[in-house]
Amino acid sequence: MSHKSNDEAPAAPSFWRDPRKRQWIFQILVLALVGLLFAYIFHNTLYNLEKRGISTGFDFLNHEAGFNILMSLIPYDETYTYGRTFLVGLLNTLLVSAIGIVFATLIGFLVGVARLSSNWIISRLANLYIEVFRNLPLLLQILFWYFAILPLLPHPRQSIQIGELFLNKRGLYLPKPIFEPGFGWVLAALGLAIVASILIARWAHRRQEATGQPFPVFWTSLGLIVLLPWLAYGLAGFPLNWDLPELRGFNFRGGIGVIPELFALALALSIYTAAYIAEIVRSGIQSVSHGQTEAAYALGLKPGQTLRLVIIPQAMRVIIPQLTSQYLNLTKNSSLAPAIGYPDLVAVFAGTTLNQTGQAVEIIGMTMGVYLVISLTISAFMNWYNKRMALVER
């Protein structure tokens, strides 16, 4: 065997020995296989649909639905179209998710902080809450609240009353605000106060950077945000009335009626997700090393300032991405609604509408599309946030 001299260029590798060419051939093969699979599925679907006499396309969205929906945020009855049904379901999904997110966050932060309490009993109780509710299937919890606990509530006549709030077998009744013409001024004042607070905060920050003089931003903003709307409210002649729920005959009239399905679903979603949020809050706060607290004390910050200026900003960096993904999970979990008959997107659209029209491909596609859009939007936000918040290391 003879050695080639060094200045001679090596012969080009044979076709199969060049990893880059091999990779391209492999990729083209994969793509072709996936394409074939899709073509096969497409062919079968068209054939099966034709055999069953189902026409494809989205025309059905303009047909009359012919069924009523238990609860709707927009005007709806049997004469509206399937397109409207879709919208009603979507709004109901968003409503229960929004309620769930608010309460899950409140309970979650409370339990998470309690879990870190130096008080042994409080921290054990919080731990018990987390371990119990996180390790039970959500569907079981929803069924439990709806089928086992709600029937134990009293009849409307013996409602549990807290202020002007009534709770009974048929749901929860709340006072309903009625906005009269002048109420726009109150909202305008609130907006003005918020904008002013932001400007003041910026100015105060710049002044402190330049001169070192602090400014009580929090109290000023709080004063503005509380006082200005009240002032406007008074000047406009108190343009707000409450429509109170009242017992008439066998049921309540007036106010906002929360149907028991919504009540049970929102309750279960909040309690279940709160257990996860509590764990996130705990691990977020614990992720800030103790040295940070000691350093802050060494600089002469008070415990409250240490919490507000040092620990919370660093903990939030860990908490917020996980919190957003829990919000996303809650929204996706609200799709368990059909189990108790809450008319969300899955129940009215992928359930009733699908059964009536048989347009499986279009309807499942649209339903999945909605959830996909929501989750892609949230993950886009998360990526943006992570990039903004990423630690800039030396």
Give the interface with other proteins as residue ranges (CB under 8 A).
23, 26-28, 30-31, 34, 41, 44-45, 47-49, 51, 117-122, 125, 131-132, 134-140, 143-144, 147-149, 151, 332-333, 335-336, 338-339, 346, 350, 354, 360-361, 364, 367-368, 371-372, 375-376, 379
| Largest distance between two CA atoms of the chain | 107
**β-pair type (171-174, 176-179):** unpaired
Q: How far is the CB of 137 from other proteins (least distance, A)?
A: 4
Distance CA(153)–CA(156), nearest Å, equals: 9
Nearer to other proteins, 122 or 188 (CB): 122
Count CB atoms within 10 A of the CB of residue 116: 14
Backbone angles phi, psi at 174, to 5 degrees: -120, 155
Q: How far is the CB of 193 from other proteins (least distance, A)?
A: 34
Distance CA(210)–CA(204), nearest Å, equals: 10
Nearer to other proteins, 92 or 367 (CB): 367
Q: Quick one: three-class SS letters along 169-198?
A: CCEEEECEEEECCCHHHHHHHHHHHHHHHH
- Using CA atoms in the order 26, 27, 32, 35, what is the torsion angle rounded to 10 degrees? 150
Backbone angles phi, psi at 294, to 5 degrees: -60, -40
Q: How far is the CB of 221 from other proteins (least distance, A)?
A: 28
Q: How far is the CB of 66 from other proteins (least distance, A)?
A: 20
Count CA atoms within 13 Å of residue 145 on its CB side: 24
Q: How far is the CB of 300 from other proteins (least distance, A)?
A: 23
Q: Which two tokens stand for residue 168?
A: 């009974």
Nearer to other proteins, 135 or 213 (CB): 135
Nearer to other proteins, 147 or 384 (CB): 147
Q: How far is the CB of 31 from other proteins (least distance, A)?
A: 6
Nearer to other proteins, 108 or 245 (CB): 108
Nearer to other proteins, 26 or 203 (CB): 26
